[in-house]
């Protein structure tokens, strides 16, 4: 099966681990429920009759809603996108707008960033003056450093320009996303996980997959996650288990000398599957500096 890459290129997404995760998912899913859907790598590659997708990140969910609204109108979407790329005079290899040779010669490793930076900062100012302009936000994500959604304390998008381009990988990911959303029945929500999980009436063939922030690894969205969140989530999962709702949760039990004792202790009640993660220690591949798991309450 061809795996679909999310067009949000979300930091910490589950794309590389998908084959192992999907192998462990139930085969018959009525409603697929994701309280921490992020860029959507997992739901895009899961078969179900319906999808309930949530994330606390307002702009991430707004982008999902905005881009998926074009799934029956892809030509308009790409026409708008190209119109804005041309308006700001950004480079875009997917439409043959390449960085001029003199930039490539002068800035051998940073020519995309050097060429696009003035246009990018103009686009960033325009978005910060009108935060409903989601197509600008998507382009800021694509041309931004490490492709992240990052806002300062005043609520302004503040990611610097990246050394990247709108290339065929982005175009293909958008095509795949729009085609997939055309066939899926999805609903997006923007709540804290507890409100989202508690608002659903579950049936026995529904399935919840959870990929929460990890207590012991560093990432922009992990900074807000603390022991209270972790305990609140694990208690909720015990409640769901008592109601015979199927779930599987990803987590990291050990990472760079940090141990998540709370999660490890809790997981002993369920089926723990070891996942081969990306964080192999290349100096000594017999020893991993991270232990990633998928914990399921079914066989
Ligand atoms: C590890 S990421 C999920 C990545 C996703 N599986 C993917 O493949 O793109 C964790 C997500 O949890 C979200 N999050 C953090 N705190 C949350 C909360 N209290 N309720 C719901 N979502 C939350 C973050 O915004 C982030 O998108």
pLDDT 10s per residue in the chain (299 long)?
A: 899 999 999 988 999 999 999 999 999 999 999 999 999 999 999 999 999 999 999 999 999 999 999 999 999 999 999 999 999 999 999 999 999 999 999 999 999 999 999 999 999 999 999 999 999 999 999 999 999 999 999 999 999 999 999 999 999 999 999 999 999 999 999 999 999 999 999 999 999 999 999 998 777 777 789 999 999 999 999 999 999 999 999 999 988 888 999 999 999 999 999 999 865 444 444 446 788 999 999 99
pTM listed for this prediction: 0.95
Return the residue whose CA atom lies nearest to atom 5 of ligand 1: 38
Return the residue whose CA atom lies nearest to atom 3 of ligand 1: 38
Query: Tell me, what's the pLDDT at 286?
Result: 46
Query: Tell me, what's the pLDDT at 23?
Result: 97
Distance in angstroms (rounded) separating the CA atoms of residues 17 and 15: 6
Per the structure block, which two tokens stand in for 200?
């659903």
Per the structure block, which two tokens stand in for 108?
């051998």
Q: What is the atom index within ligand 1 of the atom nearest the CA of 221?
A: 24
Q: Choose one of 8, 11, 36 to mutate for the ligand 1 pocket test, by most ligand atoms within 8 angstroms of C-beta.
A: 36
Q: What is the atom index within ligand 1 of the atom nearest the CA of 193?
A: 20
Return the residue whose CA atom lies nearest to atom 19 of ligand 1: 192
Residues in CB range of 22: below 8 A, 6 or more apart: 45, 46
| Ligand 1 close to Cβ of residue 44 (< 6 A) | no
Distance in angstroms (rounded) separating the CA atoms of residues 85 and 249: 39
Q: What is the atom index within ligand 1 of the atom nearest the CA of 13?
A: 8
Residue 110 sits at the vertex; the CA angle it makes with 109 and 114, to the nearest 5 degrees, is 155
Per the structure block, which two tokens stand in for 252?
């990291």
């Amino acid at each position: 099966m061809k795996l679909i890459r999310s067009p949000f290129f979300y930091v910490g997404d589950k794309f590389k681990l998908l084959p192992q995760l999907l192998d462990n998912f139930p085969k018959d899913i009525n409603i697929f429920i994701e309280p921490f859907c992020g860029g959507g790598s997992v739901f895009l590659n899961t078969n179900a009759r319906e999808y309930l997708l949530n994330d606390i990140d307002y702009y991430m969910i707004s982008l999902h809603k905005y881009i998926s609204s074009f799934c029956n109108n892809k030509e308009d979407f790409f026409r708008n996108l190209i119109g804005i790329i041309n308006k700001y005079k950004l480079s875009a290899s997917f439409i043959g707008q390449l960085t001029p040779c003199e930039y490539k010669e002068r800035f051998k490793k940073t020519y995309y960033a050097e060429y696009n930076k003035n246009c990018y900062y103009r686009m960033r100012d325009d978005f910060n003056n009108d935060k409903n302009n989601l197509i600008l936000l998507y382009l800021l994500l694509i041309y931004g450093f490490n492709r992240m959604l990052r806002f300062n304390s005043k609520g302004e998008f503040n990611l610097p320009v990246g050394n990247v381009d709108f290339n065929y990988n982005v175009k293909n990911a958008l095509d795949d996303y729009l085609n997939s959303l055309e066939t899926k029945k999805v609903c997006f929500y923007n709540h804290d996980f507890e409100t989202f999980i508690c608002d659903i009436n579950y049936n026995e063939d529904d399935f919840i997959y959870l990929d929460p922030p990890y207590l012991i690894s560093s990432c922009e969205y992990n900074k807000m996650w603390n022991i209270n969140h972790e305990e609140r989530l694990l208690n909720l999962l015990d409640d769901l288990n008592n109601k015979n709702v199927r779930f599987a949760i990803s987590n990291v039990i050990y990472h760079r000398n940090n141990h998540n004792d709370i999660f490890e202790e809790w997981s002993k009640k369920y089926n723990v599957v070891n996942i081969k993660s990306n964080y192999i220690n290349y100096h000594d591949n017999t020893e991993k500096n991270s232990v990633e798991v998928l914990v399921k309450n079914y066989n």
